[in-house]
């Protein structure tokens, strides 16, 4: 299998207070292979979100190296990083704040297409937007409406449409289904799985919910206090967890 | 597959229009807004409607009492007071709107820069606005007026200097709270350039704030211009301005009170209307968020 | 049987009262809380479960009002009272100490400028349960240790920001429990917490109920929480109860298509379906009036009757009630 992203020994700490530093990610090495869904699981404060932002170079690591398709990206400037931005897209947790309330759906989905000048005419862009709406199972009349007119699940669909618009290689979902009701959550999970198959996406799926992860992930990475304590294929991890903390997490799921 | 395909039933539901509601403005917005519009309309039409000339002196009709010929009587030089109020309103409005617009634009640029371009820009903008806010505004304006003379442009400049600082501060804090939103991070991760983030995401979300700041600063500008003109260092005769009219007739306050109360009442009406409108708009935008 | 009920909601309706129209958000529900049992109220966001809970101890937001039905509260001390008829002040007097509430967000529920111990003690002094300062403090420390806070005497002086989310929720529970309430209303008590903390808090609530012969009403969207914690469950959809049953019965034999859909759309560790089952469509707008069954537009199992007539809540098994034409064998 080919590696899409490979991170080596990355560290990141944040300042808290005047002298103290909080080590959010501590010496983590991680590979994401092409075409797989890798899940990062952990409790709040385990550093999983920070790790995702580091991999996307939305924040800079203190130490370590990150390679995207073999190219070193950790040391690139914001400007040199731009071409890579197209290849990795992000879907957030909170569908309320991740969409600009003053833009309608058309403009939201058009933003990546126009930023990357994918199409030379407005008609072609609009055509692609319609195609995307269809892919995320939204109706055509959504185009001229604003985010607040949609429910949480529908907003998450808009977010997904925006993220896949430029055919990225990597889709990062940061707790993308955590804020949704179970029924809607199931719809969005199915959608993500379907899109992943159709578009040959690589997916980094961050979640605290182990049952969700067991549904969607090929490989699971368990994080605790900024370190990875176990990485294993999903089925193996859930059937015979090796690390003590993984076992503890699994036993805590209510109603299992 | 039982995933969510839009079923026929759902389309049946959707035939009822979901968002057919038009924003119905409350009277707290419409009342002051229509008063303002009416005043603006009268001020624009006054050369056509009024039979009198605001500048033409008519010494035979000096200080005539309010009546059918002159609604508010005439002043010491025989000019129709009612007509002059609307000519004065034109200038007051003009001098209020132009510098306020400039102040809002400058304040917006400075505020965004402070919030968006790092610590150095933030320190510079904060320092500059602190400095201008540290002087009493009127004093600063008087210094400018004395040094550059009582021209239009110096009134504009002094009002802009008086107002931009507080606007920049508010814009800065609102921008910071906009930057907290994930759609800004989303735009960054898409690869949108910083300039486009400002144009496409920050400014549109600032617009409600800017509208409110604009309407709430207009009364201050009107008052500044009137005060400066009243003190004799603003608009100079023979131009007409509400503050100047009050000044010219102030010695007649006890004999002919209408000559002072007329323009003063117009100042009050304008200031209150803009204040109420600004407050109502702010409440409305707050609700929306 | 009704003597065993601590709380009984009879045909309770709650509406959002606007200037021109009123919008019903809870449409006449019946809910029973027997003494010493834990009752769950589940549903998706916007189904009215939180409003139902808030109407019980009269903390509805200003735009909402109880528009019908009664809330019968039965204790030895106060006899049988209809809480819906009481004014806020009488309500506080009557059962301020008997009904306690725990909210979802433990950070915003605590005053950041007051030490946690003092905040709990305040509950005692306000209700006049314990006027002696020293004794009150001792009681608070004892309560803190009961909810599993290590070094309670030290934590008494802690500020809210010094505590983790799980700790804060423990403090909230201590605050709710300090007056020895008869009923604990927990509104999404573990939603903001991590799984491991969630498991601890759930077992804490269960233990406290058992040891203090307290009843609880747990509002949640999480079926896992329901199955661990509750004895009896009510499932709400669009403002009405669609199914209610003892917890085992509900999970083993869900009868309403909504309950079935809800249960099957939850992924489980261990089984890996290709795709999850989903209920088609979205929750319809509450504003629209529809004379048929509220669920029939999303139902895969509907019959003609469903479009024209609202089904009634009917008992199909022991303690098992369903609101569906299908399950009545129609």
Q: Which residues pair with C24 in a beta bridge?
A: C15
Tell me if chain A has a CB within 8 Å of the CB of C107.
no
Q: Smallest Cβ distance to C278: which of B4, B9, B16?
A: B4
From residue C149, alpha-carbon distances to C138, C152, C297, C322 in Å are 15, 6, 49, 42
Write down the pLDDT at residue B3: 39
Instruction: Report pLDDT digits (tens) over C131-149.
Output: 888 888 998 998 898 888 8
**DSSP string across B94-114:** HHHHHHHHHHHHHHHHHHHHH
Angstroms from C287 CA to nearest CA on chain B: 10
Both A25 and A71 in one domain: the answer is yes
C295, closest residue in chain B (CA to CA): B9
Say whether C275 and B12 touch across the interface (CB within 8 A).
no
Say whether C280 and B16 touch across the interface (CB within 8 A).
no
Give the C-alpha separation, B200 to B152, whole Å: 35
Beta carbons of B115 and B205 less than 8 angstroms apart: no
B3, closest residue in chain C (CA to CA): C278
Tell me if chain A has a CB within 8 Å of the CB of B196.
yes
Instruction: Report pLDDT digits (tens) over C29-48.
Output: 999 999 989 999 998 888 88
Which of A55, A88, A102, A113 is most worth mutating to test chain B (most B CB atoms within 10 A of its CB)?
A: A102
Say whether C225 and A215 touch across the interface (CB within 8 A).
no
Say whether A101 and B205 touch across the interface (CB within 8 A).
yes
Q: Which of A1-10, A63-72, B20-29, B230-239 is predicted least confidently?
A: B20-29
Give the C-alpha separation, A183 to A162, whole Å: 22
Both A83 and A174 in one domain: the answer is yes
Write down the pLDDT at residue B8: 39
Q: Which of A90-104, A123-137, B243-257 is predicted least confidently?
A: B243-257
CB-defined contacts A:C, below 8 A: 100
pLDDT at B21 over 60: no
Q: How confident is the model at residue A162 (pLDDT cuts 50, 70, 90)?
A: very high
Q: Residue B78 contacts by C-beta under 8 Å, 6 or more apart in sequence?
A: B57, B58, B59, B60, B61, B62, B63, B64
Tell me if chain C has a CB within 8 Å of the CB of A238.
yes
Write down the pLDDT at residue C3: 61
pLDDT at B16 over 60: no
Say whether C285 and B12 touch across the interface (CB within 8 A).
no
Domains of chain C: 2-237 (3.40.50.300), 240-328 (no CATH)
Q: Smallest Cβ distance to B191: which of A101, A115, A191?
A: A115
Tell me if chain A has a CB within 8 Å of the CB of B205.
yes
Give the C-alpha separation, C121 to B240, whole Å: 69
Tell me if chain C has a CB within 8 Å of the CB of A240.
no
Instruction: Tell whether A219 is covered by a domain.
Output: yes
Give the C-alpha separation, A147 to B57, whole Å: 62
pLDDT averaged over every residue in chain B: 81
A114, closest residue in chain B (CA to CA): B192
**DSSP state for residue C330 in the 8-state scheme:** -
Both A72 and A148 in one domain: the answer is no
Which of C38, C278, C281, C297 is most worth mutating to test chain A (most A CB atoms within 10 A of its CB)?
A: C278
Instruction: Tell whether A159 is covered by a domain.
Output: yes
pLDDT at C18 over 60: yes
Last residue of a domain, one of A107, A133, A167: A167
In chain B, residues with a C-beta closer than 8 Å to the C-beta of C284 are: 13
Say whether C281 and B12 touch across the interface (CB within 8 A).
no
In this prediction, residues C103-119 reach a mean pLDDT of 83
B-contacting chains (≥3 CB pairs under 8 Å): A, C
Instruction: Tell whether A48 is covered by a domain.
Output: yes
Write down the pLDDT at residue C147: 85
pLDDT at C213 over 70: yes
Both A163 and A175 in one domain: the answer is no
A-contacting chains (≥3 CB pairs under 8 Å): B, C
Say whether A255 and C226 touch across the interface (CB within 8 A).
yes
Start-end of H helices in chain B: 8-14, 27-49, 81-116, 118-134, 137-148, 152-179, 182-190, 194-197, 203-230, 242-249, 257-288
Give the C-alpha separation, C76 to A92, whole Å: 52
CATH number for the domain spanning A83: value is: 3.40.50.300
Q: Smallest Cβ distance to A94: which of B1, B182, B189?
A: B182
In this prediction, residues A114-134 reach a mean pLDDT of 91
**DSSP state for residue C101 in the 8-state scheme:** E
Say whether C265 and A211 touch across the interface (CB within 8 A).
no
**DSSP string across B131-170:** HHHHS-HHHHHHHHHHHH-S-HHHHHHHHHHHHHHHHHHH
Write down the pLDDT at residue C79: 79
Angstroms from A232 CA to nearest CA on chain B: 29
User: C91 or C228: whose pLDDT is higher?
Assistant: C228
In chain B, residues with a C-beta closer than 8 Å to the C-beta of A111 are: 187, 190, 192, 200
**If DSSP codes are grouped into helix, strand and coil, which group holds residue B184?**
helix
Instruction: Tell whether A92 is covered by a domain.
Output: no
Q: Residue B81 contacts by C-beta under 8 Å, 6 or more apart in sequence?
A: B70, B71, B72, B73, B74, B75, B245, B258, B259, B262
In chain C, residues with a C-beta closer than 8 Å to the C-beta of A234 are: 272
Tokens of B41: 């309309």
Give the C-alpha separation, C14 to C69, whole Å: 9
pLDDT at A237 over 70: yes
In this prediction, residues B17-37 reach a mean pLDDT of 71
Q: Over pLDDT 90: what percentage of chain C?
A: 21
Both A158 and A177 in one domain: the answer is no
Give the C-alpha separation, A97 to A206, whole Å: 18
Which of B189, B192, B202 is most worth mutating to test chain A (most A CB atoms within 10 A of its CB)?
A: B189
Tell me if chain B has a CB within 8 Å of the CB of C281.
yes
In chain A, residues with a C-beta closer than 8 Å to the C-beta of B196 are: 115
Tell me if chain B has a CB within 8 Å of the CB of C298.
yes
In this prediction, residues A51-66 reach a mean pLDDT of 90
Tell me if chain A has a CB within 8 Å of the CB of C267.
yes
**Which range of residues forms the domain containing residue A61?**
1-87+170-256
Q: Smallest Cβ distance to C268: which of A183, A190, A211?
A: A211
In chain A, residues with a C-beta closer than 8 Å to the C-beta of B207 are: 102
Write down the pLDDT at residue B2: 38
Which residue in A107, A86, A82, A89 sits closest to A52, CA to CA? A89
Residue B49's Cβ-count burial label (10 Å; 0-12, 13-18, 19+) is: exposed
Q: What is the ipTM for the molecules in this complex?
A: 0.83
In chain B, residues with a C-beta closer than 8 Å to the C-beta of C288 are: 13, 16
In chain C, residues with a C-beta closer than 8 Å to the C-beta of A210 are: 195, 269
Both A10 and A103 in one domain: the answer is no
Which of A139, A152, A183 is most worth mutating to test chain C (most C CB atoms within 10 A of its CB)?
A: A183
Contacting A residues, span 192-231, partner chain B, CB-CB under 8 Å:
194
Q: Residue B251 contacts by C-beta under 8 Å, 6 or more apart in sequence?
A: none
Say whether B192 and A145 touch across the interface (CB within 8 A).
no
Which of C104, C189, C195 is most worth mutating to test chain A (most A CB atoms within 10 A of its CB)?
A: C195
Write down the pLDDT at residue C215: 93
C-contacting chains (≥3 CB pairs under 8 Å): A, B
Tell me if chain A has a CB within 8 Å of the CB of B192.
yes
From residue B56, alpha-carbon distances to B63, B74, B76, B89, C281 in Å are 14, 12, 12, 18, 75
In chain C, residues with a C-beta closer than 8 Å to the C-beta of B3 are: 275, 278
Tell me if chain C has a CB within 8 Å of the CB of A222.
no
Instruction: Report pLDDT digits (tens) over B115-139.
Output: 988 889 999 999 999 988 888 888 8
pLDDT at B5 over 50: no
Quote the number of domains for chain A: 2
Write down the pLDDT at residue C2: 57
Say whether B3 and A139 touch across the interface (CB within 8 A).
no
Q: How confident is the model at residue B157 (pLDDT cuts 50, 70, 90)?
A: confident
pLDDT at C250 over 80: yes
Question: What residue segments make up the domains of chain B, in order of their start?
Answer: 97-235+271-288
Q: Smallest Cβ distance to B7: which of C280, C284, C285?
A: C280
Say whether B189 and A111 touch across the interface (CB within 8 A).
no
């Amino acid at each position: 299998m080919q590696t899409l992203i490979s991170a080596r020994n990355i560290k990141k700490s944040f300042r808290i207070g005047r002298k103290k530093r909080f080590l959010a990610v501590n010496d983590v090495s991680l590979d994401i292979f092409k075409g797989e869904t890798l899940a990062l699981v952990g409790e709040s404060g385990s550093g999983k979100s920070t790790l995702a932002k580091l991999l996307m170079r939305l924040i800079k690591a203190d130490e370590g190296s990150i390679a995207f398709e073999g190219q070193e990206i950790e040391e690139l400037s914001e400007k040199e990083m731009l071409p890579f931005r197209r290849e990795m897209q992000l879907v957030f947790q909170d569908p309320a704040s991740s969409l600009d309330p003053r833009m309608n759906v058309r403009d939201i989905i058009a933003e990546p297409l126009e930023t990357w000048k994918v199409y030379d005419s407005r008609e072609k862009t609009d055509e692609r937007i319609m195609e995307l709406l269809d892919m995320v199972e939204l109706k055509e009349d959504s185009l001229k409406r604003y985010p607040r007119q949609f429910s949480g699940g529908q907003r998450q669909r808009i977010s997904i449409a925006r993220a896949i618009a430029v055919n990225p290689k990597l889709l990062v979902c940061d707790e993308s289904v955590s804020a949704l009701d179970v029924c809607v959550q199931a719809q969005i999970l199915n959608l993500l799985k379907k899109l992943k198959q159709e578009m040959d996406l690589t997916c980094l799926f961050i979640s605290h919910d182990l049952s969700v992860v067991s549904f969607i992930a090929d490989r699971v990475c368990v994080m605790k206090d900024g370190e990875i304590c176990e990485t294993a294929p999903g089925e193996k991890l859930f059937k015979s967890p090796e690390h003590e903390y993984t076992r503890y997490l699994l036993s805590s799921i209510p109603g299992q | 597959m039982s995933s969510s395909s839009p079923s026929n039933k759902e389309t049946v539901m959707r035939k009822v229009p979901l968002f057919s509601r038009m924003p119905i403005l409350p009277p707290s917005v419409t009342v002051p807004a229509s008063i303002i519009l009416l005043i603006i309309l009268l001020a624009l039409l006054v050369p056509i409607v009024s039979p009198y000339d605001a500048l033409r002196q008519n010494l035979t009709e000096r200080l005539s009492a309010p009546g059918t010929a002159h609604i508010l009587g005439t002043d010491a030089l025989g000019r129709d007071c009612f007509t002059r109020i609307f000519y004065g309103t034109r200038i007051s409005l003009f001098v209020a709107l132009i510098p306020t617009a400039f102040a809002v634009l400058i304040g917006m640029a400075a505020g965004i820069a402070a919030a968006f371009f790092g610590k150095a820009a933030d320190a510079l903008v904060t320092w500059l606005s602190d400095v201008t806010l540290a002087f009493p505004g009127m004093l600063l304006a008087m210094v400018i007026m004395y040094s550059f003379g009582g021209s239009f442009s110096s009134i504009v400049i002094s009002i802009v200097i008086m107002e931009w600082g507080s606007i920049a501060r508010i814009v800065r804090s609102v921008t910071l709270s906009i930057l907290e939103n994930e759609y800004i991070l989303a735009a960054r991760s898409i690869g949108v350039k910083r300039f486009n983030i400002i144009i496409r995401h920050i400014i549109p979300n600032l617009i409600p704030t800017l509208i409110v700041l604009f309407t709430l600063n207009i009364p201050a500008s009107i008052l500044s211009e009137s005060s400066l003109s009243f003190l004799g260092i603003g608009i100079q005769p023979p131009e007409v301005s509400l503050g100047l009219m009050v000044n010219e007739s102030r010695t007649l306050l006890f004999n002919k009170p209408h000559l002072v109360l007329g323009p003063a009442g117009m100042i009050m009406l304008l200031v209150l209307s803009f204040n109420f409108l600004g407050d109502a708009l702010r409440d409305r935008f707050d609700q929306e968020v | 049987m009704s003597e065993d009920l601590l709380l009984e909601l009879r045909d309770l309706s709650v509406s959002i009262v606007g200037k021109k129209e009123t919008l019903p958000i809870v449409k006449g529900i019946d809910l029973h809380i027997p003494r010493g049992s834990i009752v769950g109220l589940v549903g998706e966001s916007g189904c009215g479960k939180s409003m139902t809970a808030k109407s019980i101890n009269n903390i509805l937001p200003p735009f909402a009002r109880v528009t019908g039905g009664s809330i019968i509260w039965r204790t030895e001390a106060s006899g049988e009272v209809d809480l819906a008829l009481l004014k806020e002040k009488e309500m506080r007097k009557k059962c301020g100490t008997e009904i306690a509430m725990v909210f979802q967000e433990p950070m915003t529920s605590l005053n950041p400028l007051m030490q946690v111990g003092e905040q709990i003690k305040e509950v005692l002094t306000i209700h006049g349960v314990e006027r002696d300062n020293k004794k009150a403090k001792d009681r608070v420390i004892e309560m803190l240790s009961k909810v599993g806070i290590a070094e309670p005497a030290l934590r008494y002086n802690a500020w809210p920001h010094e505590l983790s989310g799980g700790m804060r929720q423990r403090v909230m529970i201590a605050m709710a429990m300090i007056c020895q309430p008869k009923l604990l209303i927990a509104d999404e008590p573990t939603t903001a917490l991590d799984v491991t903390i969630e498991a601890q808090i759930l077992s804490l609530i269960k233990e406290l109920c058992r040891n203090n012969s307290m009843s609880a009403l747990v509002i949640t969207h999480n079926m896992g929480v329901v199955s661990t914690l509750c004895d009896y469950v009510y499932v709400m959809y669009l403002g009405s109860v669609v199914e209610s049953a003892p917890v085992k019965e509900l999970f083993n034999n869900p009868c309403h298509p909504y309950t079935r859909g809800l249960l099957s759309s939850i992924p489980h560790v261990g089984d890996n379906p290709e795709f999850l089952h989903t209920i088609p469509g979205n929750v319809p707008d509450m504003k629209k009036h529809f004379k048929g069954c509220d669920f029939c537009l999303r139902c895969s199992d509907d019959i003609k009757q469903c479009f024209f007539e609202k089904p009634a809540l009917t008992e199909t098994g022991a303690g098992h009630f369903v609101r569906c034409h299908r399950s009545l064998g129609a």
